[in-house]
Homo-oligomer: A and B are copies of this chain.
Amino acid sequence: MANRAVNNYDRSVKTTDPTQQQGADPNAGLSDRIAAELTKQVSSGELPLGSWLRQSKIAEEFGTSRTPVREAIQSLSATGVVELIPNRGARIRVPSAGEIEDGYRVRAELEGLAAELAATFATQLQIDQLIAAEELFEAAVTEVSDADTSVEVGRQRWTQANDEFHEIILAAARNQTLVSALAWIHNQLPRNLTWNELGRDVRLMRSNVAQHRAIREAIEAGDGRAARQAMIRHVLRSGELVLLGLRELD
Contact = CB atoms under 8 A, between A and B. Distances in A.
The count of identical subunits is 2
A170 to B, nearest CB: 12
A31 B74 contact: yes
A147 interface: no
A89 to B, nearest CB: 12
A102 B178 contact: yes
A85 interface: yes
A36 to B, nearest CB: 11
Interface in A168-199: 175-178, 180-181, 184-185, 188
Contacts of A13: 85
A86 B14 contact: yes
A84 B177 contact: no
Which size bracket describes the interface of A in this complex?
35 or more
A146 interface: no
A9 to B, nearest CB: 13
B85 A178 contact: no
Given A102-B177, A188-B177, A14 B84 contact: yes
Interface stretch (A15-23, A42-50, A56-64): A15-23
Interface stretch (A106-114, A125-133, A150-158, A240-248): A106-114
A135 interface: no
A13 to B, nearest CB: 7
Interface in A1-40: 11, 13-15, 17-19, 27-29, 31-32, 35
Contact of A113 (B76, B109, B181): B109
18 contacts: A14-B83, A17-B77, A17-B80, A18-B78, A18-B84, A27-B86, A29-B86, A31-B74, A70-B71, A72-B74, A75-B75, A78-B78, A78-B79, A79-B79, A105-B113, A105-B178, A109-B109, A180-B188
Interface of A: 11, 13-15, 17-19, 27-29, 31-32, 35, 67, 70-72, 74-80, 83-86, 98-99, 102-103, 105-106, 109-110, 113, 175-178, 180-181, 184-185, 188
